[in-house]
Amino acid sequence: MTRLALVMIARDEAPRIARALASARPHVDRMIVLDTGSNDDTAAVAAGCGAEVHDFVWCDDFSAARNAALARSDADWNLILDADEWLEPPAAGLDARTLSPAPARLFIGQAQVMSQIEQDGAATLVRSWIPRVLPRGVTYHGRIHEQPASKLETRRLPVRIGHDGYLPESLARKADRNEVLLLREMQAKPEDAYLWFQLGKEHQARRRWAQSADCFVKALALRPPPGAPYRHALVVRAITVLKMADRLEEAIALGDEELPNWQQSPDFFFVIGDLYLEWASRHPERAVKDFLPVVEYAWKRCLEIGERDDLDGAVHGRGSHMAAHNLAVMFGTVGLKDLADKYQSMAERLREAA
């Protein structure tokens, strides 16, 4: 029997899959790749990296493909990676002490997935905790944004996964595939808040602000279950896209409603600062007295809290250099040069330390 296997589905990933497999090879006993219909050299590259490659006829269902790949594994534990991802060393949570052979107590392991995105022309990281280590016998459900079909407890493991599939080139390559599959899944589950959240993210990635805002508002109205980890990302994204869709009053109302829930979230206060800065620009007669103090408080609160990479959907930098930079720009705009210089120096220092 095998202790730990890498299980991957892939299609047309020849330029990326070697990186993923090389990162996993030191930590696993087997590597299984299910090719879902590549037109490039994905299968040959994977085989050359030491993976066992099998074919699968794509049926517009990610769970079906992942379950077919899992069926090829005899391992006690299965590590799930996509071809546009890679393990960041040291991946201590994959060792035999954490994932023992024939474990007495089963659990589903969450890894921190660090997705590279472009924001305002600059690269940054969004961090999410996602189930990626499954004990033998656990399978998936859901046509897209599939989830483990299990009631086992979840544990956060010291495992970090890099991901560059949200960069513009990759998004263009995937085109509208995810959106089409989401809409099909939502026909069967129209009241699933998580699916509305995911559809909102698809629209947001393509800068469709109005559609994205509608989806996030719908997801919130459906009341995600208590403790749902994605709720933090949902609230922060909803405020952001409501602002971008010029629905500022709705965004402010949502911020007021959610304020008690996110007192320790730099991401929440960061977008509140952005929101009130936009409101100040619309009402310059009240900006200095009423709105800019809120902006200043919000971004200073980000610095007080610091980075919270444990929160789902956290953007690295909002609790450090990004908040300091915004304060520097704001103070410079209103002519407070000493404060602007202070926070710009802080931003540079925090960025170097990141």
- Nearest CA-CA partner of 341 in 351, 328, 323, 326: 328
Tens-digit pLDDT profile for residues 298-327: 999 999 999 999 999 999 999 999 999 999
Tokens 């403790």, residue located: 227
Query: In three state form, how does the secondary structure of 125-141 look?
Result: EEEEEEEEEEECCCCEE
Is 240 found in the same domain as 161?
A: no
CA distance 66 to 43: 16
Domain boundary (150, 169, 188) is at 169
Model confidence pLDDT, tens digit, residues 227-285: 898 999 999 999 999 999 999 999 999 999 999 999 999 999 999 999 999 999 999 99
* Dihedral (Cα; 178, 181, 183, 184), 10-degree rounding: 180
Q: Are residues 149 and 115 in the same domain?
A: yes
CA distances from 325 to 39, 320, 328 (A): 45, 9, 5
Measured in whole angstroms, the distance separating CA 270 from the mean position of its chain's CA atoms is 17
Question: How far is it between the farthest Cα atoms of the chain?
Answer: 72
Please tell me the number of Cα atoms within 13 Å of 151 on its side-chain side.
Answer: 0
Q: Are residues 141 and 241 in the same domain?
A: no
Joined together, the tokens standing for residue 158 give 């010291």
Both 165 and 195 in one domain: the answer is no
Q: Indicate whether 256 and 287 sit together in one domain.
A: yes
Calculate the average pLDDT of the chain: 95
The enclosing domain of 87 has a CATH number of: 3.90.550.60
Beta bridge partners of 8: 33
Smallest CA-to-CA distance from 154 within 135, 131, 122 is with 131
3-state secondary structure of 2: strand
Q: Specify the pTM.
A: 0.91
Strands 154-163 and 85-88: antiparallel
The answer on 141 and 207 residing in a single domain is no
* Cα–Cα distance, 216 to 235 (Å, whole number): 8
Contact 178, 128 (CB under 8 A): no
Residue 300 belongs to domain with CATH number = 1.25.40.10
Q: Worst-scoring range by mean pLDDT, 121-130, 186-195, 202-211?
A: 121-130
- pLDDT band at residue 287, thresholds of 50, 70 and 90? very high
Residue 311 and residue 235 in one domain: yes
Q: Residue 162 is inside which H or E element, if any?
A: strand 154-163
- Which range of residues forms the domain containing residue 79? 2-169
Dihedral over Cα of 56, 49, 51, 78: its sign: negative
**254 and 109 together in one domain:** no
- Judged by DSSP in three states, 309 sits in coil
What is the C-alpha separation between 60 and 67, in angstroms, rounded? 13
**How many whole angstroms from its chain centre is CA 181?**
19
pLDDT at position 119 is 67
Residues 122 and 176 in one domain: no
Question: Rounded to whole angstroms, how far apart are CA atoms 47 and 80?
Answer: 18
Is the pLDDT assigned to residue 121 strictly greater than 90?
no
Domain total for the chain? 2
pLDDT of residue 226: 74
- Residue 174 burial (C-beta neighbours within 10 Å; 0-12, 13-18, 19+): middle
Tokens 């595939």 correspond to what residue?
A: 177
